[in-house]
């Protein structure tokens, strides 16, 4: 479904992504961990086309999308959430999702309405369709971010730290939603600092540091590697507050 081949990205003299290769199968859920500044969000921006890579290739559904602009990758089926969500505060939940269906998936009329409503239902916000999004709790803002990404009808969903700041019960709720999304055949890549949340549901885990792959594979096997353990200890300290 997705194949990254030796991708590189630098900002000035800073190598943010260095020779990274990775594959994702149809229906798979891949977790990504790595310290702050490791290049995780940049990797998502490279996949979804908000930035272009300096070197390397990105294939999605066997098509080379390396130089496609973001809106074309979105309509091809790559949907993402943002680490810093920017919903339209003056709009309701439904209106926000509908804008995403409109501009992301290129849908209009009843089809856009249906997509938006289905995405909102899947995200657990269907009892609040007409609630203005300025009045939402943190969990509901995370759900809205998810609904907006789902409204673009993705085949691949990129989630950037959507569990950050949530309490354990809320994280479990979110994991339940993600499992339903995966069952519907949508592939997921989930960047998260909360490692136990990832290991409880992802099929594979990718660890990156300084823009390079440190390890990838079965979550428990990967977490048991000494080099990953060292990074994980660092993450634990970051999350201690």
Residue nearest to Mg ion (CB): 41
224: left (phi over 0), alpha (psi -120 to 50) or beta: alpha
**Among the listed residues 6, 25, 26, 37, the single contact to ligand ADP using CB under 6 A:** 37
Contact 152, 70 (CB under 8 A): no
Between residue 3 and residue 22, which ones bind ligand ADP under the rule CB under 6 A?
11, 14, 16
- Is 31 a binding residue for ligand ADP by CB under 6 A? The answer is no
Smallest distance, ligand ADP to C-beta of residue 205, A: 15
Stretch that binds Mg ion, among 35-43, 54-62, 167-175, 220-228 (CB under 5 A): 35-43
Q: State the binding partner of 10 from Mg ion, ligand ADP, none, CB within 5 to 8 A by kind.
A: none
- Looking at beta carbons only, is 75 or 83 nearer to Mg ion? 83
Size of the site for ligand ADP (CB under 6 A): 11
12: left (phi over 0), alpha (psi -120 to 50) or beta: left
- Is 42 a binding residue for ligand ADP by CB under 6 A? The answer is yes
Contact 56, 212 (CB under 8 A): no
Q: Which residue has the tokens 């998260």?
A: 192
- Is 41 a binding residue for Mg ion by CB under 5 A? The answer is yes
Which of these, 92, 94, 91, 194, lies nearest to 147 by C-alpha position?
Answer: 94
Instruction: Give CA–CA dist 241/42, Å, rounded.
Output: 25
In this structure, the number of other CB atoms found within 10 A of the CB of residue 237 comes to 10
- Looking at beta carbons only, is 132 or 234 nearer to ligand ADP? 234
- Is 36 a binding residue for ligand ADP by CB under 6 A? The answer is yes
Positions that interact with ligand ADP (CB under 6 A):
11, 14, 16, 34, 36-42
């Amino acid at each position: 479904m997705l194949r990254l081949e030796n991708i590189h990205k630098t900002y000035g003299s800073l190598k943010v992504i260095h020779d990274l290769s990775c594959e994702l199968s149809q229906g798979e859920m891949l977790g990504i961990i790595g310290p702050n500044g490791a290049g995780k969000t940049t990797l998502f921006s490279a996949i979804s086309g908000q930035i272009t890579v300096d070197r390397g290739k990105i294939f999605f559904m066997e098509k080379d999308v390396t130089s496609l602009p973001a809106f074309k990758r979105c309509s091809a089926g790559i949907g993402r959430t943002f680490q810093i969500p920017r919903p339209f505060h003056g709009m309701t939940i439904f209106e926000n999702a509908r804008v995403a269906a409109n501009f992301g998936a290129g849908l209009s009329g009843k089809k856009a309405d249906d997509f938006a409503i289905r995405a909102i239902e899947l995200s657990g916000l269907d009892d609040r369709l007409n609630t203005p999004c300025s009045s939402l709790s943190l969990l509901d803002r995370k759900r809205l971010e998810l609904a907006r990404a789902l409204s673009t009808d993705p085949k691949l969903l990129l989630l950037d730290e959507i569990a950050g700041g949530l309490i354990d019960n809320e994280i479990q709720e979110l994991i339940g939603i993600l499992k339903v999304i995966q069952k519907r055949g949508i592939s997921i890549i989930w960047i998260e600092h909360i490692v136990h949340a990832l290991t409880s549901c992802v099929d594979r885990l990718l660890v990156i540091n300084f823009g390079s792959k440190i390890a990838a594979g079965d979550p428990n096997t990967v977490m048991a590697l000494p080099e990953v353990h060292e990074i994980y200890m660092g993450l634990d300290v970051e999350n201690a507050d």
